[in-house]
Structure 1
């Protein structure tokens, strides 16, 4: 499991790297958008692997978190 957690973080960092030095997403070239889609996919794949290993339904945890966030105060 630690390797999956590390992989999620590494792939998420690769998403962030695409936006490094950009002020808005409008600045992304078509090649960068294609690269971004691949990195999003990689991140999701590792997250789904983690959910599978934990026997967790990703849709259930997302719904629960969205419901929880409805009651939060955002400052």
Structure 2
């Protein structure tokens, strides 16, 4: 992603604020696909080729902006994810989980 953006001289626009805003917009476009679907329709969204294409396209946009933001901020995305999973494992231990929690 960094090479792609650099080849187009987009670095001047790829500030943390702009990338975070773009990420939010793309996540909203992904959400829009599911906005008025029932849970059953949402679960079957990948069964329709047109819907599946739209979902994959928006997921790719979300991932691209996430990776670009990580690049600009110097975040190792996989390291950050592993650390978050470790924290969540301590916060939410596996096993029976009370529904009222």
Structure 1 length as normaliser, TM-score? 0.90
The root-mean-square deviation of aligned C-alpha atoms, in Å, is 1.4
Compare 49-58 and 20-29 and name the one that shifted more.
20-29
Ranges in structure 2 where 5+ consecutive residues have no aligned partner? 1-15
- Matching of residues 1-75 of structure 1 within 5 Å: 1-24=16-39, 25-28=42-45, 29-73=48-92, 75=101
C-alpha distance in 2 between matches for 1:53 and 1:17: 28
Structure 1 outlier segments of 4+, above 3 Å: none
C-alpha distance in 1 between matches for 2:44 and 2:87: 34
Ranges in structure 1 where 5+ consecutive residues have no aligned partner? none
C-alpha distance in 1 between matches for 2:77 and 2:24: 17
The number of residue pairs the alignment matches comes to 75
Q: Which has the larger radius of gyration?
A: 2
- Give a deviation string over 1:5-28, Cα, whole Å, max 9, x none: 000000000010000111222342
